[in-house]
Amino acid sequence: MNTTIDFEPENLRVDENILAEILRAADTVGKLYGAENSELSITLTNDENIHALNKKYRGIDRPTDVLSFAFRESDEPEIIGETVDVLGDIIISVERAQMQAEEFGHSFLREIIFLEVHGLLHLLGYDHIEDADRAEMEAEQKFIMAELKIGRD
């Protein structure tokens, strides 16, 4: 997958090993779901910026951990065999990921990759509004995290 990683604010930094794992996760999901030739944008941000985006685009006046903006909307969760040029954008709050990693008792790496995988599944058409959809998405998340060999520490 052709993945770009941006930072907002620009002075926000994340360890190079984490960035390499973010790229590996995107490539793995691309291969697993037939989207290896797709383009993906990931923005790593802080709570202030994701709060503003969450309020503007979802009408929710608080920070969140991850937002996904699909370039193409689809009723079908699978894109296997289709050619997709641009999947969309994922925005991840590094601050929220760090807090949640501490809260859940696992590594920052595990949390940031989990949020990326969650966002990628949304871009691929998965959702978790209905219980059956939630169960399916959770199973896919577990499958991908196992493929990446990133578990709870």
Report the percent of the chain where pLDDT is more than 70. Answer: 91
Domain-embedded: residue 22:
yes
At residue 152, the pLDDT reads 73
Strand partners for 91:
43, 67
- How many C-alpha atoms does 52 have within 13 Å on its Cβ side? 6
Stated pTM of the model: 0.90
- Residue 9: CB atoms within 10 Å: 9
Give the mean model confidence (pLDDT) for residues 94-111: 96
Q: 114 is in which domain, residue-wise?
A: 2-148
Number of domains in the chain: 1
Residues making up the chain, counted from first to last: 153
Domain-embedded: residue 153:
no
Q: What is the pLDDT of residues 48-60, one digit of tens each?
A: 999 999 999 999 9
Domain-embedded: residue 37:
yes
Q: What is the pLDDT of residues 32-86, one digit of tens each?
A: 999 999 999 999 999 999 999 999 999 999 999 999 999 865 444 455 555 547 8
Give the mean model confidence (pLDDT) for residues 12-34: 96
The residue assigned the tokens 């193409």 is: 72
- Residue 63: CB atoms within 10 Å: 20
What CATH number does the domain containing 11 carry? 3.40.390.30
At residue 123, the pLDDT reads 94
Measured CA angle at 18 (ends 105, 5), to 5 deg:
125
Domain-embedded: residue 13:
yes
Q: Strand 86-93 relative to strand 66-70: parallel, antiparallel, unpaired? A: antiparallel
Domain-embedded: residue 88:
yes
Q: Residue 153: which pLDDT band, with cuts at 50, 70 and 90?
A: low
Domain-embedded: residue 64:
yes
